[in-house]
Amino acid sequence: MNERKAPRAVMTQLALASAVLVSTLMMAACGGGGSEAAGTPVIGNGQTGGGTGGTVASPKMSIALSANTVTAAAPATVSVTLKSPAGAPIPGQVVTFSTAGTLGALSPASALTDGNGVASVVLKPASPTAAGADTVKATATVDGKEVTASTGFQLTATDVAISSFTADVTGLSAYGQTTLTVNLSGTSASSPVNVSLSSACVTNGKGTLTPATVTTSTGRATFTFRDGGCGAVQRSDSLQASVTGSAATASLTLPVASPAVSSISFVEALPQAIYLRGSGYAENANVKFMVKDANGNCVPEQLVELSTTTQAGGLTLDGVSAVGSAPPTVVKRTDSKGEVLVRINSGTVPTPVRVKATLQGSSISTVSSALAIAVGLPSQLNFSLSQGTRNIEGLNVDGTANTYSILAADRLGNPVPDDTAINFVLMAGGQIQAIRQTALNNNGVATATANFVSSSPRPGDGRITVVAYALGEESFLDLNGNNVYDAGEPFQDLGDVYIDRNFNDFFNADRDQFIPLAVGTGSQACNPWGPEPGATLLATNVSIPSKPASCDQAWGKNYVRRAIQTVLSGSSPRPVWGTSLPGDLEVYGNCPTVSLTTFDANGQGYTRADPPVPNKQSYFVFGQHEVKVPGKQGSIYFIAADNNPEAFNPLPAGTVISTAATDGLTATVVGGSPVASSLNPTGVAINFKLDDKSTTGTISVTFRTPGGLATTIPLVINTGTPAGSRCN
């Protein structure tokens, strides 16, 4: 029995041992257990060789030269390829290069492998006389493992000299070309050399060399030089030939002819407009010309004679004044860019002026574009103020906007300069931007606009005065045309600026705001205009506020000014019948004296005045009275005033008036809606008609302001024979 069981026990033990071995191997393969490194190596493909644990494979490096013979004229490229044991490229690794001896030089000494695992450097002789053999070595460290590769190379010394350096012409014409030849000694077919040229003209951008370098093994190198107008800046070109990697050089001086001047062109005038001497604005401009050759290139060192086309007002050219009847003239030399710059200073007369430029000793010339010399200062007569809307909804509404615009010109009607400061002021009723600068609009007109909004405090009559002013000059009539004020010429004597609260052309010290600007004013009576031509043109009015007894009776600089009135209209209507407007109605109720016009069914009208009209400014309230008409149809006229109890003001501009009527009656607004921009109330006309069955009806008249407030007032229409105005 035991002999039979023994083999089975042995087999069981062997099976167990095998299982343990397999389990151990599986644990080793999966990285479990033990202290040995597990898994697949980063570089390499696992363990190799016999023995316990094996050996990790190293990366592979190969090295190659683009040429085994290296010369100064023909350096070699050293390329190293780094791969994993499995043959995959290893990028991003630093490779260091060196030579075993001192014959070779590497540039640079290290490089980074690219995506293909390749790193490259340049190998050249350490000196032009280096000769013999040497070894180049590459080294890299990957995952702590150093890998190297090396290869040998041969160096051949460059012993070349320049035997001659010549041009095929003795002197080069402007914009011409020549062939330059460099002959060498000591070259051989197995040792090519690089020859390069440098040129002062090329360096200055005044010429070209083709090609830049020549590689030759025949002992001869040729180049083509083309002049680019170099003779305009230098009399000859300095050329130098050199052999790369050697001390061999040679120089050549090539005379270059200056190009002939072909034209003078005007470049610019900055600024394009200047102003009279003493105006306080820009009084000088720089005018630039350029001298050019036939190729359009600049020509420096040329004498140019410059003169103005006028001498009006004593203008000067580079500080030189006119001599007798001859305009100011100067001679200047063009700079390295072929440009000449001359300065014009204005005189006392506004005029267009041009500068003539002539190449000295020739007929080549040109003139500048017109440069304008303007007065500059705004003139009182040419200072105009306007507003966006005359009647805005601002009596009881804050923030209603309006605009005030100045158009400003000098005494000859030319736009004042950009950024001329304009002040805007008012006493009450809103806020306005204080200072605005002029700018040319799309029409080339100098304008400045200030924004306004309504706010407290508000005057009881709802009327405000806005004043705009700027430093300018008093207007005068230039009777002799010399553009200078002369004694005896009519002028507009201006006093101090003030805000005319009542806008009545009368200074009231208790109500009006005095503005003490203290320029060009005094304590005398303002100069009377006298007879024509000054009486009408130079007369002031309510739009030119000038405080009495504040003039100096002398023409000069002063604050030009303009004033304008704006109505802050109420939002609620107070429409009235007025004796100054016809009305085809008969009024019943409490009413003042009135004159009315009525129309019958055939459109025939007649006037009733019962009793006679003593005062054409009498009004009575619309809507509080019955309208009696002789026929079935007619027209009603009334005045659209606002509800300000202290004044008779218009409704806000833009107020829309509409009608609705009861059955049997039709009514249509035929005029006066929307309300116009006006300082005074405007009239409204309504046509109405009763049908055959109706003898009475009611018209509902609705007033809707720009702010959205709607007010409806009924108006009763009855047919009957007019019996005149009947009032209680």
- For 233-276, how does the pLDDT look when each residue is reduced to its tens digit (9 = 90+)? 889 999 999 987 677 899 999 999 999 999 999 999 999 889 98
Question: According to the model, what pLDDT value does residue 520 have?
Answer: 65
CB 544 within 8 A of CB 380: yes
- pLDDT band at residue 564 using 50, 70 and 90 as cut-offs: very high
**Please, is 103 exposed, middle or buried when counting C-beta atoms within 10 Å of its C-beta (0-12, 13-18, 19+)?**
buried
Question: According to the model, what pLDDT value does residue 184 have?
Answer: 92
In the chain, the largest separation of any two C-alpha atoms, in whole Å, equals 165
Tens-place pLDDT, residues 132-191: 889 999 999 998 899 999 999 988 766 788 999 999 999 999 999 999 999 998 887 766
605 beta partners? 599
Question: According to the model, what pLDDT value does residue 592 have?
Answer: 34
**More confident of the two residues 453 and 589:** 453
Of 567, 566, 556, 569, give the one whose Cα is nearest residue 468: 566
Of 487, 490, 561, 562, give the one whose Cα is nearest residue 526: 490
State yes or no: pLDDT of 24 exceeds 80.
no
Give just the sign of the alpha carbon dihedral 387, 388, 391, 392. Answer: negative
Question: According to the model, what pLDDT value does residue 469 have?
Answer: 96
pTM score, whole prediction = 0.61
Question: According to the model, what pLDDT value does residue 311 have?
Answer: 86
For residues 82-91, one letter each, b for 16 or more C-beta atoms within 10 angstroms of the residue's C-beta and e for the rest, the string is bbbbeeeebe
Mean pLDDT of the chain: 83
Question: According to the model, what pLDDT value does residue 46 have?
Answer: 43
Of 386, 383, 440, give the one whose Cα is nearest residue 417: 440
DSSP 490: -
CA angle 18–22–25, rounded 5-degree value: 140
Which range is most confident: 47-56, 584-593, 625-634? 625-634
**Please, is 275 exposed, middle or buried when counting C-beta atoms within 10 Å of its C-beta (0-12, 13-18, 19+)?**
buried
State yes or no: pLDDT of 23 exceeds 50.
no
Of 37, 89, 91, 34, give the one whose Cα is nearest residue 60: 89
Of 394, 709, 429, give the one whose Cα is nearest residue 573: 709
Q: How far apart are CA 379 and CA 556, in angstroms?
A: 11
- pLDDT band at residue 6 using 50, 70 and 90 as cut-offs: very low
Question: According to the model, what pLDDT value does residue 527 have?
Answer: 76
Question: According to the model, what pLDDT value does residue 532 have?
Answer: 72
CB 598 within 8 A of CB 608: yes
Q: Beta strands 69-70 and 145-155: pairing type? A: parallel
Of 94, 176, 412, give the one whose Cα is nearest residue 273: 412
Which run of H or E residues covers position 121? strand 118-125
Q: What are the chain's domains?
A: 60-155 (2.60.40.10), 161-255 (2.60.40.10), 274-374 (2.60.40.10), 380-568 (no CATH), 576-727 (2.60.40.10)
**Hey, how many other C-beta atoms are within 10 angstroms of the C-beta on 488?**
7
Tens-place pLDDT, residues 376-411: 899 999 999 999 999 999 999 999 999 999 999 999
State yes or no: pLDDT of 462 exceeds 60.
yes
State yes or no: pLDDT of 59 exceeds 50.
yes
561 beta partners? 469
Quote the percentage of the chain above a pLDDT of 70: 82
Question: According to the model, what pLDDT value does residue 243 have?
Answer: 87
- pLDDT band at residue 56 using 50, 70 and 90 as cut-offs: low
CB 403 within 8 A of CB 451: yes
- The verdict on whether omega for the bond into residue 652 sits within 30 degrees of 0, i.e. cis, is no
- pLDDT band at residue 665 using 50, 70 and 90 as cut-offs: very high
Among the residue ranges 512-516, 574-578, 609-613, the one predicted with the least confidence is 609-613
Show the beta-strand stretches assigned E in 176-295.
Answer: 177-185, 193-199, 207-210, 213-216, 220-227, 236-243, 249-255, 261-270, 273-275, 284-293
For residues 299-331, one letter each, b for 16 or more C-beta atoms within 10 angstroms of the residue's C-beta and e for the rest, the string is bbebebbbbbebbbbebbbeebebeeeebbbbe
Q: In what order do the strands lie in the sheet with 303-308?
A: 329-333, 303-308, 355-359, 365-367
State yes or no: pLDDT of 607 exceeds 80.
no
673 beta partners? none
State yes or no: pLDDT of 2 exceeds 70.
no
State the Rg of the chain over Cα.
Answer: 52
**Hey, how many other C-beta atoms are within 10 angstroms of the C-beta on 453?**
15
Among the residue ranges 299-313, 509-523, 695-709, the one predicted with the least confidence is 509-523
State yes or no: pLDDT of 85 exceeds 50.
yes
- pLDDT band at residue 668 using 50, 70 and 90 as cut-offs: very high
